[in-house]
Amino acid sequence: MKYLPLDPAIFEQNRARFVAKMEKNSIAIFNSNDELPTNGDAIYKFKQNSDLYWLTGIEQEDTMLILFPGNPDPKYREVLVLTRPNELKEKWDGFRLRAHEGTAISGIKTIVWLDVLEGLLQPWIHLADNIYLNSNENDRKSNLVAVRDYRFAETMKQRYPLHNFKRSARIIKDLRAIKSALEVDVMQKAMDITDNTFRRLLKFIKPGVTEYEIEAEIYHSFLSQRSGGPAYGSIIASGDNARILHYVENNQECKDGDLILMDFGAEYGGYCADLTRTVPVNGKFSRRQKTVYNACLHLHHYAASILKPGISILDYTEKVGDEATVVFQKIGLLRKSDIKNEDPENRAYRKYLYHGISHHLGIDVHDLGTRTEPVKPGMVFTIEPGIYIEEEKMGIRIENNFWITRNGNKDLMKNIPITVEEIEALMKK
């Protein structure tokens, strides 16, 4: 890892929160992700299972966590399972965690090697009535491959058909949505790295620079600040490319007079930042660009004013849509007749703002959390309205990250330049 060691209390608190939700006399088992092949003998860069990371802080492959709070032997009430270090493998693939290092990261005192787990696990399961198994229940998931969690669940059901099986994901989804102060501290570090990077870009961008050169500056800045790299694929979209929400080519020249939309964020300590800014390539907004930008910024501020505990994301999105309808009429995008004749299922403003306004943020950039239940204190959301005008070949999006508090929210990116005047002043320098 490139980041400095995190406080193991983050993961100790997370495990305690999960155990408190388990039914009596239950055991819970969590698995790491698979190592996945690309082509030939190569594999993709390993990415840890987000739930396992949230509970342990361990990023190493072939890792397991076993929680059995009712185990008669207190030593085995929480167990971290690691692959035994192998001298030959380490020569090829690098260092693997020793037991004391696993404890230092996770706060778990009992470490068991994977190759001896079988003889221990079966007696523990015989003592339990319920077995919690994990799965990916992110509403956005698209996975047709039988990953390790699902293969493991099938094996366990065959071996122990008379046990009661429970879904860890039902608990994890609610818990991960509520961030502790320690977690937000780590997220703030990712956001501060992103802030520094954006300020660097404002001095770098000019006509003739390519999108991929900007992407390279982002990656360089992230790594130089101990980030593991981008939290997701950076979107560097100049000119009309900005209307493509998930534009990934990043291969065009940035031209004088165009805007450039940059959606990027650092990963730090396993947690994500997610920033979007739209700036003029030549350092100066035109009158029309400024009008549309300020309209988008107004929507951003309006959304921040209503994203509070008690509102659902569905209701919140509808209210932002109401405000967008008014704003779009003011800047000449909608007519009264467009609004009067709109389809309630496809409102008129959707022609120019065709995505959601907010999503949960955390270990995953689209983190676990509900859209239908009321927003709760502790949740972290993006706020990212956009305005996309095909006729003008213009796309603008403005995004910050907010931590929900008891009475409102806290803008975790409040120090990042956001107004026309701030951006122009920094680009001029």
User: What is the C-alpha to C-alpha distance for residues 275 and 213, in angstroms, rounded to an integer?
Assistant: 18
Q: Which long-range contacts (CB under 8 A, 24 or more apart) does 321-330 make?
A: 321/347, 321/349, 321/350, 321/353, 323/299, 324/299, 324/349, 324/352, 324/353, 324/385, 325/349, 327/295, 327/298, 327/299, 328/295, 328/352, 328/353, 328/387, 330/295
Q: Are residues 139 and 44 in the same domain?
A: yes
**162 and 116 in one domain?**
yes
Which DSSP string do the residues of 402-425 spell out, in sequence order? EEE-SSSEEETTTTS--SHHHHHH
Per-residue pLDDT of the chain in tens (429 residues, 90 and over written 9)? 899 999 999 999 999 999 999 999 999 999 999 998 899 989 999 999 999 999 999 999 999 999 999 999 999 999 999 999 998 888 888 899 999 999 999 999 999 999 999 999 999 999 999 999 999 888 777 777 789 999 999 999 999 999 999 999 999 999 999 999 999 999 999 999 999 999 999 999 999 999 999 999 999 999 999 999 999 999 999 999 999 999 999 999 999 999 999 999 999 999 999 999 999 999 999 999 999 999 999 999 999 999 999 999 999 999 999 999 999 999 999 999 999 999 999 999 999 999 999 999 999 999 999 889 999 999 999 999 999 999 999 999 999 999 999 999 999 999 999 999 999 999 998
- Compute the distance between CA of residue 195 and CA of residue 127 in angstroms, rounded to an integer: 51
Beta bridge partners of 381: 360, 402
Instruction: Report the half-sphere exposure of 137 (CA within 13 A, side-chain side).
Output: 15
* CATH number of the domain within which 273 lies: 3.90.230.10
147, 194: one domain: no
Domain limit, last residue, from 106, 140, 175: 175
Domain co-membership, 243 together with 350:
yes
1 lies in some domain = no
Distance CA 8, CA 180 (A): 13
Residues in the chain: 429
pLDDT for res 140: 75
Cα angle for residues 97, 100, 103 (degrees, 5° grid) = 90
Sign of the CA dihedral 307, 309, 313, 319?
negative
Q: What CATH number is associated with residue 96?
A: 3.40.350.10
Does 3 map to a domain? Answer: no
**pTM for this model (two decimals):** 0.95
- CB distance 124 to 101 below 8 Å: no
Q: How many CB atoms lie within 10 A of CB 316?
A: 21
Are both 169 and 47 inside the same structural domain? Answer: yes
Residues in contact with 114: Cβ distance below 8 Å, sequence separation at least 6, in sequence order:
62, 64, 81, 82, 83, 84
Q: Does residue 110 sit in the same domain as residue 208? A: no
147 located within any domain: yes
- Residue 265, domain member (yes or no): yes
**Residue where a domain terminates, one of 145, 175, 205:** 175
Nearest C-alpha neighbor of 1 from the set 119, 104, 125: 104
Which of 175, 197, 225 lies at the terminal end of a domain, its last residue?
175
Location of structure tokens 């467009």: 338
C-alpha pair distances (Å), 291 with each of 33, 145, 351, 416: 47, 47, 18, 21
CA-based nearest residue to 400, from 258, 129, 257, 194: 194
- What is the structure's pLDDT at 62? 96
Print the domain residue range for 338. 181-428
Rg over CA atoms, the chain: 24
- What is the model's pLDDT at position 267? 98
Distance of CA 236 to the CA centre of its chain: 18
CB count within 10 Å of CB 150 equals 16
Residues 184 and 14: their CA atoms lie apart, in Å, by 13
The C-alpha angle 149, 146, 36, rounded to 5 degrees, equals 90
- The domain tally of the chain equals 2
